């Protein structure tokens, strides 16, 4: 199990986001939203994968690093920091996703400078914090496997095992790219989604979350974010990155969803709605659609 970095205890809202993927247009919109909400960078957390499909990995890394936003190491940071030959994403060898990943990974590896790669190499694989007394472990994929996919339809037994390993009231995960919250017995699994790519729901929106302390627990709000997706798509095309990713930013559909469980794949094109989860530690949670 990776040694956690302890971020501290909080009693004010936290903003959580994943996968900027080199999409600086989306990051600009998120940072503007955080300023509007009055959430400082010290109360923001990224679940990793700063670089990937979009055209500006260095600019994204610089913005996040300069702002002082806490970042969990993703498989992309692990690979870039080690000058590895591939992204370590966990795609099936030879699959469409694997082939396209080789293209964007080469681009990112050339675009990101050595100082940034050294910074990525030193990022923590796990960040522990508490919010209103709730103990939270933030990871990228799985607790012990950085590129483990945990989707909404991943069996509860697997999420339970991950929560047991984490030994926390709540796990914040990333990597899968889909936003969701799920109560697992008395505990909570949460994925804020990613800001670098839509959620395969047929809309160009991307996703983040806000965690707020309440009297007997926390409230988790999954929120959508609109941004200059046309500009981000144009930048992908100008950089000669795979056209499929530019199309995905505009259409809201992933180029390929073979990595998903069948139940999640069947929800392709179903527009997600913003969700609020009132989680009462440690007993019950009540979910309400906004």
The tens digit of pLDDT for each residue in 27-39 reads 999 999 999 999 9
> Does 5-289 carry CATH code 3.60.21.10?
yes
Judge whether residue 288 has pLDDT over 60: no
**Could you read off the pLDDT of 81-115 as tens digits, one per residue?**
999 988 988 777 777 777 788 889 999 999 999 99
Q: Which two tokens stand for residue 186?
A: 């008395």
**Angstrom distance (rounded) from CA 91 to CA 68:** 31
pLDDT, tens only, 125-161: 999 999 999 999 999 999 999 999 999 999 999 999 9
Closest CA to 242 of 110, 104, 105: 104
DSSP single-letter state for residue 239: T
What number is the average pLDDT over the span 28-52? Answer: 98
Q: Among residues of the chain, what percentage have pLDDT more than 90?
A: 86
pLDDT at 287 over 70: no
Average pLDDT over residues 44-59: 98
Contact 236, 246 (CB under 8 A): yes
Backbone angles phi, psi at 6, to 5 degrees: -90, 115
pLDDT of residue 276: 96
- Tokens at 226, concatenated: 């609109």
Does pTM surpass 0.85? yes
Q: Which helix (H) or strand (E) holds 272?
A: none
Per-residue pLDDT band for 1 (boundaries 50, 70, 90) equals low
In angstroms, how far is CA 182 from the centroid of its own chain? 16
- For tokens 């080469």, name the residue: 106
């Amino acid at each position: 199990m990776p040694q956690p970095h302890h971020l501290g205890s909080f009693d004010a809202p936290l903003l959580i986001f994943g996968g900027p993927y080199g999409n600086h247009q989306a990051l600009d919109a998120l940072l503007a939203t955080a300023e509007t909400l009055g959430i400082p960078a010290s109360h923001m957390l990224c679940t990793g994968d700063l670089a990937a499909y979009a055209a500006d990995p260095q600019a994204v890394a610089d913005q996040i690093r300069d702002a002082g936003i806490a970042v969990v190491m993703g498989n992309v940071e692990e690979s870039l920091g080690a000058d590895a030959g591939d992204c370590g994403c966990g795609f099936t060898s030879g699959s469409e996703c694997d082939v396209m990943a080789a293209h964007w990974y080469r681009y990112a590896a050339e675009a990101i400078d050595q100082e940034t790669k050294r910074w990525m190499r030193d990022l923590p694989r796990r960040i522990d914090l508490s919010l209103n007394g709730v103990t939270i472990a933030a990871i990228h994929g799985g607790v012990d496997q950085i590129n483990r996919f945990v989707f909404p339809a991943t069996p509860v037994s697997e999420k339970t095992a991950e929560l047991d390993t984490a030994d926390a009231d709540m796990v914040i995960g990333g990597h899968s790219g889909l936003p969701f919250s799920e109560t697992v017995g008395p505990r909570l699994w949460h994925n804020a989604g990613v800001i670098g790519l839509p959620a395969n729901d047929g809309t160009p929106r991307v996703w983040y979350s806000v965690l707020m302390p309440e009297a007997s627990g926390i409230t988790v709000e999954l929120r959508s974010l609109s941004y200059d997706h046309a500009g981000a798509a144009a930048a992908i095309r100008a950089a000669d990155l795979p056209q499929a990713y530019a199309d995905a930013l505009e259409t809201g559909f992933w180029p390929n969803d073979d990595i998903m469980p069948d139940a999640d794949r069947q929800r392709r094109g179903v527009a997600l709605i913003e969700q609020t989860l009132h989680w009462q530690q440690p007993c019950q949670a009540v979910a309400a659609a906004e």
